Chain A
Amino acid sequence: GAGVSQTPSNKVTEKGKYVELRCDPISGHTALYWYRQSLGQGPEFLIYFQGTGAADDSGLPNDRFFAVRPEGSVSTLKIQRTERGDSAVYLCASSPTGQSSYNEQFFGPGTRLTVL
């Protein structure tokens, strides 16, 4: 079966623009996670969906960041008024369930965002 896919693989934008990053999780996985990885660092948690709802958005850095998962499958991470500091690789991961179970997370290849 297909793994987690993310589009686009690369996105270059100008400061102040709006961007959308898409994640297609593994079919049937109810839990979906967004992480951000800056150069030389490990991935940092942004937001976690259980089904359609955001169960934990405590990692979103500010209100310019927003994510949706309207049908409990595909998710879109939206960044408004992008800043140069938003440049990073945005990783999406999914797992069969998200609560009280030892499920590994399967990661997509990431979207490299560059804000000029």
Chain B
Amino acid sequence: DQQVKQNSPSLSVQEGRISILNCDYTNSMFDYFLWYKKYPAEGPTFLISISSIKDKNEDGRFTVFLNKSAKHLSLHIVPSQPGDSAVYFCAARSSIKAAGNKLTFGGGTRVLVKP
């Protein structure tokens, strides 16, 4: 039972255009969401996050939108750059204290930015 889903395994976009990555979740106890970026042979690196009390968070070229009623979030990258080519993971944290800070990840979306 996948609680976090990224339904698009891959995305190809032209340099300078917008990349939109989508993520859906099923667990209503999730209260904090993160996006991680991963290059081959490296660990995931944190990109941006959003608390469930917000619907938007922006950091430079990266914006995350959260729609709680739809249990959906998206990551917008604009403008896309060739260095953004990587696998992007959506992750969520439960508000249940006993769960600590463990993250539940989606399956990832591979982004290719073409020059």
Contact residues of A with B, CB < 8 Å? Answer: 4, 31, 33, 35, 40-45, 48, 50, 55-56, 59, 91, 93, 95, 97-110
Binary per-residue interface labels of chain B (77-115) against chain A in the complex, 1 for a CB within 8 Å, 0 otherwise: 000000000000101000001111111111110000000
Known A102-B32, A102-B49; contact A48-B44, beta-carbon cutoff 8 A: no
In the complex, the answer to whether B34 meets A104 with C-beta atoms within 8 Å is yes
In the complex, the answer to whether A33 meets B102 with C-beta atoms within 8 Å is yes
Known A43-B44, A108-B43, A110-B43; contact A56-B107, beta-carbon cutoff 8 A: no
Among B34, B41, B101, B105, residue most surrounded by chain A Cβ atoms (within 10 Å):
B101
Partner of B89, one of A42, A59, A106: A42
- Interface check B51, CB cutoff 8 A: yes
Contact residues of B with A, CB < 8 Å? Answer: 4, 6, 32, 34, 36, 41-46, 49, 51, 89, 91, 97-108
Q: Separation in Å of the B113 CB from the closest CB of chain A?
A: 21
Partner of A107, one of B4, B44, B99: B44
Q: Separation in Å of the A109 CB from the closest CB of chain B?
A: 5
Assembled-state Cα–Cα distance A38/B103 (Å): 16
What are the residues of chain A within 8 A of B103 when measuring CB–CB?
33, 35, 43, 45, 105
Interface of A is mostly: loop
Given contacts A104-B46, A106-B46, 7 further A-B contacts (CB under 8 A): A4-B43, A31-B100, A33-B102, A42-B108, A48-B100, A102-B32, A105-B101
Assembled-state Cα–Cα distance A57/B43 (Å): 21
Known A99-B97, A107-B43, A107-B44; contact A45-B108, beta-carbon cutoff 8 A: no
Q: Separation in Å of the B43 CB from the closest CB of chain A?
A: 3
